[in-house]
Chain A
């Protein structure tokens, strides 16, 4: 006791000294961008100076830092902007509170003007000022007949529409300042979209300059942006009102670089914590995280911001770190100044792990055995035991059957469906490494009966749909947007989309003697053209290279690449999918919504999981083990003041609705009733249903996936009124209690009401009733003559508790 007080005092002392040190001197300073390169008289580069302190806090000290240029004949600094003076190299020295650093400067063509470019100078104006967003001129029909391509995916079309679609109206070559385009933008004539900028601003000047030059189209082969950088790379702001300026720099295909801060569109994922101004100034708000993004051209780049209350006192509680998962989760929590919840009790763990690993509740015996086990590694023992059960693999077969849309239909026979399901079950039960069976699946050829995995290409026959499904299921990418325009919030362009679709253009399908069977084969011919301009697209891996496909099975090549370490999204996406099963929340959420603007809540953790999964040779069982044995998985749902508002950093366990099939199985299990599903024997579990077509009222009400799409949203876990009503009044509870006659059997075994109550609690909730619960229920039991009725009512009541309905 005395010791702990002493340590606490020491910690306080340390903290106090730390904060006073922080006020004095930073640990380091960094200048962004790390180098300045300018290639024309119009070159400019804004610089920012960021100081980092011992406790991780960062400050924008650009205004306070002393910035000097080594050679004024090369460059000068005006209003924090570096401007070219003459050709050559020099450096910028930056000094702030004793810390110094240098940035190299390289100036070329300092006195040569750059001609105005439609694509590089004018198009970004429309993006930055919101002209081409979906609600305005980016709409499919434009606004009042004037359309710009959504977020500028079609610059050539935009050039045509601006200059020649309505001749003599939108631009005025004779008096550029009086072009309708210009006058509307500056509000000189009424504009439904309002005034976008003012006379004299860069946007105005560039528009006028372009029209004055005759509204030229760019020469062929003009440089295109190849990458975009957003600086600084991270920031931890201390207190409401503190600010951090962002800068954006684009690199072009000709090797040049430009400061495009004034042309980038800034967005924040969380305005209340980190609001970003149109010019890229982030202002800290309430405590929390914000992912601040900049969009330029087809690129979206982001920086994670953490905002803390001013001078927050915080110490991280001692928390067990069982493996790398805990280390990485806790590291993030430390940055956020969030203390994780305590580790959950054995009872809670038992119920949670049973539902998560087997889709069942522990039996009374299992409960008793586990609780009686005194060994230190009894949780490890239990996990090992459960993962060997067939229920474990059945649960994952269900999961994959949803994603592979195993479902009979007018096109797909029941037989084929069943064969397909059996194929999947075999692969999972044998624990075939994921990459292997995914490759087998995507590269499949043959009859849908002989080689049932080819059903994947029978379920969906549309080339574009197949493309989208593969990207969504195996890479977590929703690339649908890019079918018609460049993805507004991600890196995917139409080129990427149709390049990837080109892998699926040569799927041949032909019938056999059996009308229910289809043969899928590599037809060796078939191409896809870009809808803008009709270019034939060469197959290109999504986010990867363009392989040589001549004479090869395109799907085979694609499968080989997709389920391999060469695909940066495969391992992380599947790890995230596994993670989501156990936490009810993805590190990227939703799991199939991976995009730049939906960043992982803990990027390091996701990367590490993917790395481990790859190292494990895609043995997902090992990954499951890592996850469920981590302390982070075993945290209590009980929150503390620091983590009560946290919903995405895994600082406490979340309360999760049990999915439809598992829930029905659990109800059947505790009431000892049997279900009958078509094609399955009496008493089969709902998770064993092969065909997505099969359902019943209960499963539908509780959101069983219809498997009509690959979306993770197919499984509905939202509570609804009909669910409550069904449990309260429907045949799911009362009828089953009567039907299973559990109470009757127990009474027949001469169990006392108290024992029966214990049994009900352990069966359903994996815990003994509390003294209070027991007293109250037993009082009722004793007051009533018909013990069975009262106990069945108690059973019914427990089945209708939220504690039963949720995994916690």
Chain B
């Protein structure tokens, strides 16, 4: 996948190359055809610094001027042009030396260019000076937050990277906007932007000149300066407008990659340097070279303007450190102390202190009033690499010991951040000084919370393709959704449990109340009930006695009735007897009639007694049951009440988590929409 993209890019570049090689009807010109060829093969020696044999091949006018032994090209006459002769191996010394003859197509191209009259550009007009697309110079240098909203890209940037690689390379270009949540990371032929608040990937700015090795934001955060190029071949610095993401100006024609660059606070100058050992200062007004400083004896490795723009400092590979006056390029101070490669320079916001870090392991603080060394701190064993002197006074450094450290502005150590797995090369601090970003040897940028030194995120310098990103986002959303549903389920359970717990507590409290009441009331009731029971028993006994008496009377009556009847029957006509018999019978019947009532009364009394017994027993049982509850229940309630906050917290947490996930999903979906809407690189209009 990654390979195929590289292949695609390679094919594209091949296509352009073949276009160069066979410019069908069009005439050969210097800018489009000859200069790239010279840069490939010749300018390592024939540049403005080395000037081998006085010949400079990366400037059209210098070619026309010729070298130390006279003219080297004669329009229309390849045979009379020594430049062509030596390249075509027709005369000594053959060029390039110690290498095989260049491709025949290149020789033919060179020959045609000379024959066709040494055109400088395609339209035959002299190359216009490298003018900026806009006037960016500021009248005054303003300290503090600029007016208006902090500059952020207004239009979406290309999200599809120009170059896609499976791994990143050592991050040596890294900068954070002083006012906006914006981080710029030097990638492969592109600058990768991230949002420092959300750590979100914002897109890339193509850097077609090669590899960006140094990144600097303008002091108002409106512009990003990127210096770089191709090692041993070409170097320049390009200024981009942050809001539009478009190139404003490119300066520098180095024969090797630019390693150090900065834009002045008033945005009128860009200073740059590299292996040429020369600091060159260009005007942003017309792109013209203002000063050339040849004091350095080794590669220029770091440049930074003072906050007021009056001075700028430059450091080199041998540890030489100079401060120059910006307006005339004259030496202001030589700061002696470093013994090795100066990796970074940074000024304190008030411009009185300059900080520097070097491979000699030290962080040095220089006082710029008199040019004296104030403090030298053995910051990072093996070599100090990254350095930022933030506006709020915090210094953040990184180094070969794989760690990053923060310091107070007087050089007192604050903390050491979690170490990385390989060299910690460059640092940047977010506008609000909340995060420190550390670029490492493996090509990643680690984000740290500055307050506690905890690593919070890792931002790659090699973003994936838009397609891969869409797929990845979609996958992430699916994962997040899964997580969300799981968490929601957990939340439901937690809520249920919470409710149950609350219910249980209420029940228990009710029980407690009842038990307390029972314990309080029941003894009296039992007493009452015991009395009631005894009364009922008495009533029952009485009723039983009454029934038995009734029954006995009936029995006795029945006998007497029978006797009377028998008498009567024997004395049939005895009316009295009969009448007696009838009366007795009537009396008996009456008695019989009374019996059920007696029986019923007994039944009632028995039932009443049973009920009384049961009532007493119940009350007694209730008392037995309630008595232990009175001390036990409060404990239970207490335990449950104690469990309440945890349960509630779980609910809260889960609720937050759910909300968070929902938010994340929302953000991811928004990003995904952004990615989906963004056009792949191939479809972008050519700028």
Contact = CB atoms under 8 A, between A and B. Distances in A.
B99 A187 contact: yes
Interface stretch (B111-119, B160-168, B657-665): B160-168
B165 A191 contact: no
B382 to A, nearest CB: 9
A164 B41 contact: no
B100 A195 contact: yes
Interface residues of A, number: 25
A174 B462 contact: yes
B97 A214 contact: no
B57 to A, nearest CB: 10
Nearest to A195: B99
Contact of A190 (B42, B165, B275): B42
Interface string B200-227: 0000000000010100000000000000
B425 A190 contact: no
B441 A188 contact: no
A500 B385 CA distance: 41
A190 B41 contact: yes
B96 A190 contact: yes
A780 to B, nearest CB: 59
Interface stretch (A26-34, A165-173, A440-448): A165-173
Interface in B526-577: none
B96 A194 contact: yes
A190 B45 contact: yes
B232 A191 contact: yes
Contact of A194 (B98, B172, B188): B98
Contacts of A188: 40
Contacts of A169: 231, 257
Given A175-B188, A190-B233, A194-B99, A168 B45 contact: no
Contact of B6 (A164, A175, A184, A194): A175
Contacts of A170: 231
A194 B423 contact: no
A173 B6 CA distance: 14
Given A167-B425, A175-B188, A195-B99, A190 B169 contact: no
Residue picked from A164, A184, A194, most chain B C-beta under 10 Å: A164
A180 B232 contact: yes
Given A183-B231, A190-B44, A194-B96, A172 B423 contact: no
Residue picked from B42, B45, B99, B298, most chain A C-beta under 10 Å: B99
Interface in B36-74: 40-45
Contacts of B211: 168, 172
A58 to B, nearest CB: 34
Interface string B178-199: 0000000001100000000000
Interface string A280-314: 00000000000000000000000000000000000
Contact of B168 (A171, A173, A183): A173
Contacts of B172: 167-168
B169 A145 contact: no
A174 B233 CA distance: 19
A144 interface: yes
Nearest to A194: B98
Interface string A182-204: 01100111111111000000000
Contacts of B165: 174-175
Contacts of B443: 173-174
Given A164-B423, A174-B188, A214 B167 contact: yes
Contact of B169 (A144, A168, A184): A168
Contact of B232 (A167, A172, A189): A189
Contacts, number: 92
A170 to B, nearest CB: 8
A175 B6 CA distance: 9
A737 B487 CA distance: 121
A533 to B, nearest CB: 16
B466 interface: no
A189 B44 contact: yes
Interface string B106-127: 0000000000000000000000
Contacts of A172: 169, 188, 211
Contacts of B481: none
Contacts of B598: none
Contacts of A173: 167-170, 442-443
B130 to A, nearest CB: 23
Contact of A167 (B45, B170, B299): B170
Nearest to B42: A190
Contact of B231 (A167, A189, A192, A214): A189
A295 to B, nearest CB: 21
Contacts of B469: none
A411 B111 CA distance: 73
B21 to A, nearest CB: 16
Nearest to A163: B441
Contacts of B42: 190
B98 A193 contact: yes
Residue picked from B6, B98, B298, B425, most chain A C-beta under 10 Å: B98
A189 B40 contact: yes
A172 B163 CA distance: 13
Interface string B426-457: 00000000000000011100000000000000
B310 to A, nearest CB: 31
A498 B448 CA distance: 48
A189 B47 CA distance: 14
Interface string A439-460: 0000000000000000000000
Interface string B267-303: 0000000010000000000000000000000110000
Given A175-B165, A180-B231, A191-B232, A144 B275 contact: yes
B569 to A, nearest CB: 137
B518 interface: no
Interface string B445-484: 0000000000000000110000000000000000000000
Residue picked from A145, A167, A170, A187, most chain B C-beta under 10 Å: A167
A172 B41 CA distance: 21
A191 B43 CA distance: 10
Contacts of B40: 188-190
B317 interface: yes
Contacts of B169: 168, 171-175
A17 B230 CA distance: 68
A193 B233 CA distance: 15
Nearest to B41: A190
A168 B171 contact: yes
Contacts of A189: 40, 44, 230-233
A184 B99 CA distance: 11
Contacts of B98: 192-195
A144 B231 CA distance: 12
A174 B167 contact: yes
A724 to B, nearest CB: 42
B170 A168 contact: yes
A169 B171 CA distance: 10
Contacts of B213: 168
A370 to B, nearest CB: 64
A57 B230 CA distance: 55
Contact of A175 (B100, B163, B233, B425): B163
Contacts of A187: 41, 96, 99-100
B43 A190 contact: yes
Contacts of B44: 189-192
Given A145-B299, A174-B462, 19 more contacts: A144-B275, A145-B317, A164-B400, A167-B172, A168-B213, A172-B169, A173-B167, A174-B167, A174-B169, A174-B188, A183-B232, A189-B44, A189-B232, A189-B233, A190-B96, A190-B232, A192-B45, A194-B99, A195-B100
Which 7 pairs across A and B sit closest by C-beta, in order of nearness?
Answer: A194-B98, A190-B44, A180-B231, A168-B170, A189-B232, A174-B165, A189-B233
21 contacts: A145-B298, A145-B299, A145-B317, A164-B400, A164-B423, A167-B385, A167-B441, A168-B211, A169-B257, A170-B231, A172-B169, A175-B169, A183-B230, A187-B96, A189-B231, A189-B233, A190-B43, A190-B44, A192-B44, A194-B99, A195-B100
